[in-house]
Amino acid sequence: MATSHNQPELTHVDSTHQQGDFRFALVALTSLFFMWGFLTCLNDILIPYLKNMFELNYAQAMLVQFCFFGAYFIVSIPAGSLVGKIGYQKGIITGLVIACVGCLLFYPSASYGSYNMFLFAFFVLASGITILQVSANPYVSVLGTLLKPHHLV
């Protein structure tokens, strides 16, 4: 099996053992897809609370969406470069760590009552999710082709 520059090298050791490992990875990634989808949906739920808490006008409240989805625009190309250098699996770990840092930043944001810190936390969280998506989407494609029965390939 030929590998490209961006795909991890996967050797054929024992096909049943290897398929089991890939199935676990595919199930774990599927749960991650739901997790970051849920995090994305939380933006809409948080906006009215932030609007009331900080007495924001509509434009200021929509900065939450702007910061979150702006991270996709800003971070996606550097994330692709990063994943090209470190690989899919390490890219997924990196994305999870950055998303976790973004979630943890909500605690000091709430403690200090700082809207700007909330916006920064949203940006960091979305940056991690962007790296996750840039890593996980092609990795799932690779795993899917490896899990196909060999007579169909």
Report pLDDT digits (tens) over 120-131: 999 999 999 999
Q: Which of 107, 108, 109, 105 has the alpha carbon at shortest distance from 124?
A: 105
**For residue 43, how many C-alpha atoms fall within 13 Å in the half-sphere facing its CB?**
19
- Going from N- to C-terminal start, the domains of the chain cover 15-147
Q: What is the mean pLDDT of residues 144-149?
A: 67
Rounded Cα gap, residues 80 and 134, in angstroms: 6
Whether residue 91 is predicted with pLDDT greater than 50 in this model: the reply is: yes
